[in-house]
């Protein structure tokens, strides 16, 4: 067999393996943003915590495939955790929140992607994480993707069996409508249904209860055209930037009445499940 044919055969085998493995997971959501720095990783981590609280504890996994800035372990307080391996399989980090976690950050020295890495190497890292991770018994997988709508996300979509849908994260700035529309049209081209838009840093809640909009009314344009797709508006809240731990975990309280962050994420998580069950 020529080297080329052998390479193609190996690729096809890897793809078949990852499709087979991910086909056992009932719900698979990718989280993307048309542009970087809008809070995609914070949203993914918090959706994970919300799903866990909603009954998926122990059956939910997060694949942090945002290789350019893999920060979910940091937000969940597992930045220095180590992945166990038998040389072939990778075993996700089991967090105390009932979320199994696999992240590119566990493999990157200094937690940053070497600048010299080109497209094929990046896609290989993501693909290897998908094919080698032994999730065990999972009902739901959240996949945090690199910012933008480039080849790396296309690679993710090809290697995951029947993605349930996508969550697009945006901020209510003037350019957000354009960015969200680009993400929505990308999803059409890769045949992944849009399940919801999350508007992050939507507002600031002041001490007197009033609301301020740091980005002005930029979000109104998204609201006008895609309003029915918005499943949550998340406030700007400095606590969200800090790692979750025993003293900073909005989801640990049984009485969530005063916690608008946790309530919003749990509402969004419920809508994602309902959108799939056709409720």
Ligand X SMILES: Nc1ncnc2c1ncn2[C@@H]1O[C@H](COP(=O)(O)OP(=O)(O)OP(=O)(O)O)[C@@H](O)[C@H]1O
Q: Helix H segments across 58-118?
A: 72-75
| Rounded Cα–Cα distance for residues 162 and 23 (Å) | 7
- The residue with tokens 């680009």 is 182
Q: Does 236 bind ligand X (CB under 6 A)?
A: yes
DSSP state of 29: E
Answer left, alpha or beta for residue 216, where phi above 0 means left and psi between -120 and 50 means alpha.
left
**Of 113, 240, 262, 273, which one interacts with ligand X (CB under 6 A)?**
240
How many positions of this chain bind ligand X (CB under 6 A)? Answer: 20
Task: Output the CA angle 153-154-160, nearest 5 degrees.
Answer: 85
| Rounded Cα–Cα distance for residues 88 and 76 (Å) | 26
**Binders of ligand X in range 108-147 (CB under 6 A):** 147
Among residues 216, 222, 231, which one has the least CA distance to residue 178? Answer: 222
**Is 195 marked within a binding site?**
no
**Of 18, 22, 52, 71, which one interacts with ligand X (CB under 6 A)?**
71
Among residues 137, 140, 1, 156, which one has the least CA distance to residue 67? Answer: 156
- The residue with tokens 């690679």 is 155
**Is 38 marked within a binding site?**
yes
CB 229, min distance to ligand X, A: 19
Q: Does 234 bind ligand X (CB under 6 A)?
A: yes
178-207 mask for ligand X (x: CB under 6 A)? Answer: ----------------------xx------
Contact 239, 247 (CB under 8 A): no
13-42 mask for ligand X (x: CB under 6 A)? Answer: --------------------x--xxxxxxx
Q: Which is nearer to ligand X, 60 or 67 (CB)?
A: 67
Q: Does 66 bind ligand X (CB under 6 A)?
A: yes
Q: Which is nearer to ligand X, 21 or 122 (CB)?
A: 122
**Is 34 marked within a binding site?**
yes
Task: Output the CA angle 167-17-29, nearest 5 degrees.
Answer: 10
| Rounded Cα–Cα distance for residues 25 and 161 (Å) | 9
CB 233, min distance to ligand X, A: 10
Q: Which residues pair with 102 in a beta bridge?
A: 63
Q: Which is nearer to ligand X, 33 or 164 (CB)?
A: 33
| Rounded Cα–Cα distance for residues 31 and 89 (Å) | 25
CB 74, min distance to ligand X, A: 9
Q: Does 232 bind ligand X (CB under 6 A)?
A: no
CB 260, min distance to ligand X, A: 11
Q: Does 149 bind ligand X (CB under 6 A)?
A: no
Q: Which is nearer to ligand X, 162 or 178 (CB)?
A: 178
Interaction site with ligand X (CB under 6 A): 33, 36-42, 66, 69, 71, 147, 200-201, 234, 236-238, 240-241
């Amino acid at each position: 067999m020529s080297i080329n044919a052998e390479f193609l055969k190996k690729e096809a085998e890897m793809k078949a393996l990852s499709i087979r493995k991910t086909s056992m997971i009932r719900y698979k959501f990718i989280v993307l943003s048309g542009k970087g720095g809008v809070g995609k990783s914070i949203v993914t981590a918090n959706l994970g915590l919300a799903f866990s609280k909603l009954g998926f504890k122990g059956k939910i996994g997060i694949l942090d495939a945002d290789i350019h800035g893999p920060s979910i372990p940091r937000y969940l307080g597992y930045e220095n955790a180590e992945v166990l391996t038998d040389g072939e399989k990778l075993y996700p980090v089991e967090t105390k929140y009932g979320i199994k976690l696999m992240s590119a950050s566990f493999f990157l020295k200094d937690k940053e992607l070497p600048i010299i890495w080109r497209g094929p190497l990046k896609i290989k890292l993501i693909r290897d994480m998908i094919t080698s991770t032994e999730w065990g018994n999972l009902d739901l997988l959240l996949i945090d993707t690199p910012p933008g709508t480039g080849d790396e996300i296309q690679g993710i979509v090809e290697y995951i069996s029947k993605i349930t849908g996508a969550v697009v994260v945006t901020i209510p700035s003037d350019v957000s409508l354009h960015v969200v529309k680009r993400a929505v049209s990308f999803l059409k081209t890769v045949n992944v249904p849009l399940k919801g838009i999350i508007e992050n840093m939507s507002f600031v809640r002041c001490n007197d209860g009033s609301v301020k909009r740091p980005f002005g009314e930029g979000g109104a344009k998204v609201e006008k055209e895609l309003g029915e797709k918005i499943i949550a508006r998340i406030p700007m809240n400095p606590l969200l930037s800090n790692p979750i731990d025993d003293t900073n975990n909005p989801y640990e309280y049984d009485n969530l009445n005063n916690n608008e962050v946790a309530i919003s994420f749990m509402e969004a998580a419920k809508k994602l499940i309902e959108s799939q069950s056709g409720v």
